[in-house]
């Protein structure tokens, strides 16, 4: 199976905004990049061998629906990390002491009364285990930076506390080849599908 992890396009938000589980709209013009990505993937999602799953948040759902011609399935486990009290604040307005407390144990800490990275990793991994053995040639997952980072870390058996080092840009594609328990990372956070 080929597994494609795709981050949603750039949302229309104020720069520096903390918007994990907050539902925000996509920036104008996202469709052009989405069409280029769809052309690059060239997958037919009405075929049984190809499946598309997405976070229910608008910024991921719209891209998934576009890529799959409406054949994508919303999965609550693919929502972005919930930053609780920090949602809707600018990072610069969040107490440095709270951010430092989080950074001291980025996997288990949640000083913002939301989810810890461990909680996100657990829900994403449990979902993956429930679908990974399905008879698919291609599996497309449209989600968020945090979801993709934790799934890449777990598939590659990398330390979760280092997942923040993975660069997952807007509309980027991470590709795996998976045969049973044999996992090969083919490309990480690539934007090479964009035409020059």
Note whether residue 192 is domain-resident.
Answer: no
- The Cβ-side half-sphere exposure at 14, using a 13 Å CA radius, reads 8
Domain count, the chain: 1
Cβ-Cβ contacts under 8 Å for 56 (sequence gap 6 or more) = 74, 75, 76, 78, 79
Q: Is residue 109 part of a domain?
A: yes
Written as one string, the DSSP assignment of 102-115 is HHHTTTT--TTSS-
Residue 135, domain member (yes or no): yes
pTM: 0.95
**Angle at 176 (CA atoms; ends 63, 192), nearest 5 degrees:** 60
Q: Identify whether 193 is part of a domain.
A: no
- Residue 139 lies inside a defined structural domain of this protein: yes
Q: How far apart are the first and last CA of the chain?
A: 29
- Structural domain including 142 reads 2-187
List per-residue pLDDT tens for the chain, 196 residues long.
Answer: 999 999 999 999 999 999 999 999 999 999 999 999 999 999 988 767 999 999 999 999 999 999 999 999 999 999 999 999 999 999 999 999 999 999 999 999 999 999 999 999 999 999 999 999 988 999 999 999 999 999 999 999 999 999 999 999 999 999 999 998 899 999 998 877 664 3
Residue with tokens 């891209």: 63
Domain contains 18: yes
Report the pLDDT value the prediction gives residue 196, as an integer from 0 to 100.
Answer: 38
Asked whether the beta carbons of 90 and 18 are under 8 A apart, the reply is: yes
| 39 occurs within a structural domain | yes
Q: Is residue 67 a contact partner of residue 37, using CB atoms and an 8 Å limit?
A: yes
* Cross-strand partners of 17: 90
**Crossing angle of helices 145-156 and 117-131, rounded to 10°:** 70
Q: Does some domain include residue 31?
A: yes
Specify whether the CB–CB gap between 1 and 183 falls below 8 A.
no
Can you give the CATH number for the domain in which 138 is found? 3.40.50.1240
């Amino acid at each position: 199976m080929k597994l494609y992890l795709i981050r949603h396009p750039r949302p229309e938000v104020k720069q520096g905004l903390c918007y994990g589980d907050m539902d925000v709209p996509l920036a104008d013009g996202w469709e052009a990049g989405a069409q280029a990505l769809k052309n690059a993937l060239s997958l037919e999602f009405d075929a049984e061998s190809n499946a598309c799953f997405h976070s229910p948040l608008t910024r991921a759902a719209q891209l998934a629906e576009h890529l799959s011609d409406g054949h994508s399935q919303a999965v609550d486990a693919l929502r972005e990390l919930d930053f609780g009290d920090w949602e809707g604040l600018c990072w610069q307005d969040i107490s440095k002491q709270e951010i430092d407390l989080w950074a001291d144990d980025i996997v288990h800490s949640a000083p913002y009364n939301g989810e810890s990275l461990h909680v996100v990793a657990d829900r994403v991994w449990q979902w993956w285990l429930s679908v990974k053995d399905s008879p698919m040639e291609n599996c497309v997952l449209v989600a968020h930076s945090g979801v993709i980072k934790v799934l890449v870390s777990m598939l590659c058996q990398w330390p979760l506390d280092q997942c923040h080092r993975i660069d997952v840009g807007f509309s980027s594609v991470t590709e795996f080849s998976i045969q049973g328990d044999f996992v090969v990372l083919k490309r990480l956070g690539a934007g090479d599908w964009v035409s020059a």
